Amino acid sequence: MSRVYNFSAGPAVLPEEVLKEAQAELLDYNGTGMSVMEMSHRSKAFDEIIQSAEADLRELLNISDDYEVLFLSGSATHQFAQVPMNLMKNRVADYIITGQWSKKAYQEALIYGKANKIASSEDKTFSYIPDCSDLPVSPDADYVYICENNTIYGTKFKKLPNTKGKILVADVSSCFLSEPMDVEKYGVIFGGVQKNVGPAGMSIAIVRKDLITDDVLEGTPTIMKYKTQADAKSLYNTPNCWDIYICGKVFKWLKKMGGLEVMKKHNEDKAKILYDYLDSSKMFKGTVVKEDRSLMNVPFVIGDKDLEAKFIKEAESNGLKSLKGHRTVGGMRASIYNAMPVEGVKALVEFMKKFEEENA
Ligand SMILES: *Cc1c(COP(=O)(O)O)cnc(C)c1O
């Protein structure tokens, strides 16, 4: 067996320790004589899995009883619809457009009502976060929406927008659990888990309890009501049991690592190695303004397509995988999520240095 350094934006690297544990338990979970994949979601064993996953997540993020934690089948993209269905009571919502994912969420919201773009960084290919200290928030907006970490463009909100009292909704797919966050500042936090937490096929939504009601948009399917899943403790339908199980293991791994303050420090140290090199290199350049740089997704370019293709190909054959940038940006992107060890980032920078010397 040989493991590579996987810089994919998602599905992405998981902690090796978690994979090994899952492997050891694959045929016989905890003396049950069956795999979690084969187990009833109403069984005692699975009940313990989902309960402890929720408890560990609550502990990691310091989530109070004012919030519901929902494990929802599907993806972050499902939430682009589920958020307006549940929250857009006045049929008005304000969107801050900082990349392709917030744009998609905005376009989805247009199906349900009046979605307003109140800020955007599209003028400079989403290479920065707009100033959100005094935005023209709509007086009747049901919520203000952000994508907190922009997976494709490599920017992150370092300061939350001033929503002027409106509910803040955030897509945290690619920064979830990479650092502590103040849950109380949000109405809804959601993310697809395949970036930083687990296998694809599920999202986690943390929703303030007073926002979970039967007063949803007309025509909202039962399964898309937050209330349906909150009342059923995320078991209204057969959930993605395997995914919840792996996410639970990742939560335990994060706790063992020391929690989110420690992860933040790890992530800052890792990102610094790469950004420092990008700032000193004559060949490679980061594409994002310094103050808005993401700790998780680092896009960079050479500015010569042939050389970039050569770089990606040679990196692949050196065990540095999935460094190709998103098709809309080009160049390269290194996603360095929680589970990417510092050795992986060091190996990447060493390889970049060597490539720069050889191709100068
Ligand atoms: C990947 C990603 C999505 C889409 O996730 P799916 O689970 O494929 O729907 C949405 N938002 C962000 C920020 C992402 O990184």
What confidence tens digit (pLDDT) does each residue in 194-242 have?
999 999 999 999 999 999 999 999 999 999 999 999 999 999 999 999 9
Q: Which residues have C-beta atoms less than 6 Å from ligand 1?
A: 10, 75-77, 101, 147, 151, 171, 173-174, 192, 195
Select which of 166, 195, 227, 270 is catalytic: 195
pLDDT attached to residue 144: 98
Contact 38, 351 (CB under 8 A): no
pLDDT-derived band of residue 329, with 50, 70 and 90 as boundaries?
confident
Asked if residue 1 has pLDDT above 80, the reply is no
pLDDT attached to residue 360: 87
* pLDDT tens digits for range 23-67: 999 999 999 999 999 999 999 999 999 999 999 999 999 999 999
pLDDT-derived band of residue 328, with 50, 70 and 90 as boundaries?
confident
Here the tokens at position 288 are 């994002």
Pocket test for ligand 1, best of 75, 175, 190, 327 (most atoms within 8 A of CB): 75
Pocket test for ligand 1, best of 72, 77, 177, 327 (most atoms within 8 A of CB): 77
> Rg of the chain over CA atoms, in angstroms?
21
Q: Ligand 1 centroid vs 227 CA: distance in angstroms?
A: 23
Q: Ligand 1 centroid vs 87 CA: distance in angstroms?
A: 20
Average pLDDT, the chain: 97
What residue's CA is closest to ligand 1, atom 3? 76
* pLDDT tens digits for range 85-128: 999 999 999 999 999 999 999 999 999 999 999 999 999 999 99
Select which of 171, 252, 292, 324 is catalytic: 171
pLDDT attached to residue 149: 98
Select which of 56, 94, 101, 166 is catalytic: 101
Contact 312, 300 (CB under 8 A): no
Peptide bond preceding 11 in cis form (omega within 30 of 0) = yes
Contact 178, 337 (CB under 8 A): yes
**Is 210 an active-site residue?**
no
Pocket test for ligand 1, best of 104, 151, 193 (most atoms within 8 A of CB): 151
Q: Ligand 1 centroid vs 150 CA: distance in angstroms?
A: 10
**Is 65 an active-site residue?**
no
With a pLDDT cut of 90, the percent of the chain lying above it is 98
pLDDT-derived band of residue 143, with 50, 70 and 90 as boundaries?
very high
Q: Which atom of ligand 1 lies at the shortest distance from residue 194's CA?
A: 7
Residue 13 exposure: Cα atoms within 13 Å on the Cβ side: 25
pLDDT attached to residue 2: 85
Contact 306, 331 (CB under 8 A): no
Rounded to whole angstroms, the Cα distance separating 136 from 235 reads 40
Nearest to 259 by CA among 179, 205, 176: 179
**Is 195 an active-site residue?**
yes
What residue's CA is closest to ligand 1, atom 7? 75
